[in-house]
Amino acid sequence: MYVPLSENAIRVNSFRDLFDSQWSHYLTWSGRTVAHVLIQFFLWAGKDIFNIFNAMVGTVLIIEIYWCIHSGEVSFRFESCKLFWIFFVFWTFAPDFSPVFFWLTGACNYLWTNVLLLSFLIPYIQKYYVSNNTIRKNCFLNPFMFVLGVFAGWTNENSVCWFILLLMIFVLRQQKQDDVEYWMYAGLVGLILGYALLMFAPGNFMRLHTGHGRDFINIQVIFRHLKTFFKIFIYQLLLWYFSIKSVCQFKNICFNEAEKMKSLKREILLVKSFLIISFGMSFIMVFSPEFPIRSGFLGMIPLIIAAGILLRLQKDIGIELITDSAMKFLTVIGVFYFIMTSTVSLNNYYKIHLQMDELLRKVSATQAIDRDTILVVQPFAKASRLDSCISGFHIIDNDLSEDETRWENVAFSRYYGIKGIKCIRKIDEE
C-alpha cells in the first residue's frame, strides 16, 4: 500500500489470475474478499461494463431500502416520489457521494456490499413485522440463507458486527415466543461465519505485523477521527434531527386499541434499533487506524431506513411530524438544490472526462513512438472552491504527481506500458 507496484506484477487476464491474486491478498493483506473479487473482475472487464452494472446496483439499493421502509414487503408497486426521496437523501446527505457511487473501488467496497447485506436482512425485517406467521416453508431457503449470510458477513468490518448483534437479539426473542424458523438460524450462522472469514483473515495479522494499523491507540489519531465523525454527523444533521424529534413525538401517542399500540411500539423499536446501529457504525471508526469520510456511508443506510419508517408512520397513523407548509418549503428548496448541484457536478465531470481523454491520447502516442520516454503532462485542472461547494461536494479531483517515482505515477505508467509519467506546472515548463 502506497508503494510502487512490483515490476514482476502480472495483469489479471483470466479467472485463474483473479483467484491467485485474491488468494495472495487474503493471506497477506486483507479479508475483504467479496468486495475485492468484484473490484478486480471489473478492472479486468473494463469500466464501461462496470458503469452499466453499477447503475443497476445503485437502483437495487434504492429499491431495497424502499422495501425495508415498507415492512420488508417485496413488491414492485412503488410510490415514485418515495423512490426519488431515497435517491435525493443519498445525493444530499451521503458523505463522499461520488467516491461511493462512481469510483469503481469505492462502489464495490460500499455500494455493492450494502446491496448484498440488505438483501440478506429483508427476510428478517419481514419476519419482524409478521411475527407468529410462517414466512417460507421451502426447504431450499435454509441453505440459500446460509450461503447468502456467508457472503453478506464477508463484506465490511464495521457494519456487519452491528447486524449480527441485532439479529442475535431478534432470534433469541423469537425463540422465547417459540416462533423461530430454521432459515433464521441458517442465515445467522452464515453471517457469523462470513464475518469470521473477514476478520480472521491471515492477511489482517500480516498487515498488522508489518506496521500498518498500529496507530489506533494514538490519541492524536483518535482526535483527528473525532473531527471526521462530527463532519459526517453534520452532513446528516437534518436526518438525525427529524428522526430523534419524531421518536420523541411518538412517546406521547396513546391508542385505545391494544393492537394498534402494540404495532406502534414495534415500529418505534425498530426505528430506535436502526438509529443506534447507524450511530455505532460511524462512531466505531474513531478507533480505527484510518477513517476515510466515505466510511460514513455505511451508517447512512440504517439512518435513511429509520427516517423512512417514520415518514410512513406519519401517513399511516395520521400524526403530523412535518407540517404541510414545511414540506412544501423543503420540496422547493430540494428541487432547486438538486438542479444546482447536479448541473455543476455534471459540468465539472465533463471537463475531467475531456482532460482524461487528452491524457490517454498522449499515452497512446508515446506507446507508438517511444516507450522509453517519460511522458510529461500538465496537471488536471482542479475545481474551484466555489464550484466544489455549489456542487454539494460531489466533485472528485484527479491528479498525478510531479515525481515519476510516486506509486500512483508508477502504477499508471506500468498499466499503460510506458516508462514513466509526471506532471509539470506551466511555470516550470522552460
Specify the pLDDT at position 384: 86
Confidence bin at 344 (pLDDT 50/70/90): very high
Specify the pLDDT at position 212: 57
Residue 427 has pLDDT above 80, yes or no: no
Q: Are 356 and 303 in contact (CB under 8 A)?
A: no
Residue 55 has pLDDT above 70, yes or no: yes
Residue 166 has pLDDT above 80, yes or no: yes
Specify the pLDDT at position 37: 96
Specify the pLDDT at position 169: 93
What does pTM read for this prediction?
0.92
Q: Which residue has cell 517511444?
A: 370
Round to whole Å and give the CA distance between 58 and 302.
16
Higher pLDDT, 210 or 171: 171
Position 397, amino acid: D
Position 27, amino acid: L
- CA 51 to each of CA 47, 54, 284: distance values in angstroms, whole numbers, following the listed order: 6, 5, 32
Specify the pLDDT at position 211: 62
Residue 224 CB: number of other CB atoms within 10 A? 14
Residue 174 has pLDDT above 80, yes or no: yes
Q: Which residue has cell 442465515?
A: 187
Higher pLDDT, 259 or 49: 49
Round to whole Å and give the CA distance between 422 and 409.
7
Nearest to 93 by CA among 309, 240, 259: 240
Specify the pLDDT at position 137: 66
Beta bridge partners of 376: 422
Q: Are 230 and 262 in contact (CB under 8 A)?
A: no
